[in-house]
Amino acid sequence: MAVRYSTGQLSSLLAKIKLDQTLAFVDIYAGAQPSSSDNPQTGTLLATVTLESDGVTGLTFDDPVGAMMGIPAGVNWGFTGLAAGTAGSFRLRTAIDTNVQSETELRIDGSIGTSSGDMILSNVQIAVGAPGSIDAFNITLS
């Protein structure tokens, strides 16, 4: 038998993730995500996503709806390219995460694409100094 969670339980878990990741950042990297979120990222850091692309303000999530939560309506999660490359993975991290091997840091890693992936960008080619924004980003539990 498989363990199954009710929608209410999944929503409760997402509410905890929302709290843990309040004012967090999303780092966009070239290359594939690490084999574990406990591992440091190894690809080139291409950009850091902030609220309204201001470079300093951490992100917030919308309230969970069922087993999913994402970017609040009317809010822009954006970035300015730090290095040139093809976006391949991201790390959602707290502001104090130092990107070292850790089993205690609060992190979520995922893939990036233009039509499929855990995070959707309209263009995965990032250039130094070029602006960009996140088209879609949802955390879904099942």
User: pLDDT digits over 10-31, tens only?
Assistant: 999 999 999 999 999 999 999 9
According to DSSP, residue 22 is labeled T
User: What is the chain's alpha carbon radius of gyration, rounded to the nearest angstrom?
Assistant: 15
Q: CA 68, CA 78: separation in Å to the nearest integer?
A: 21
Q: Which DSSP string do the residues of 78-137 spell out, in sequence order?
A: EEE-SS-EEEEEEEEE-TT---SS-SSS-EEEEEEESSSSSEEES--EE-TT-EEEEEEE
Residues forming beta bridges with residue 109, ordered by sequence position: 91
Max Cα distance, the chain (Å): 52
Whether this model's pTM surpasses 0.85:
yes
Instruction: Work out the average pLDDT over 127-136.
Output: 96
Instruction: Work out the average pLDDT over 61-66.
Output: 96
Mean pLDDT, rounded, of the chain: 96
Q: Cα 132 to chain center, whole Å?
A: 14
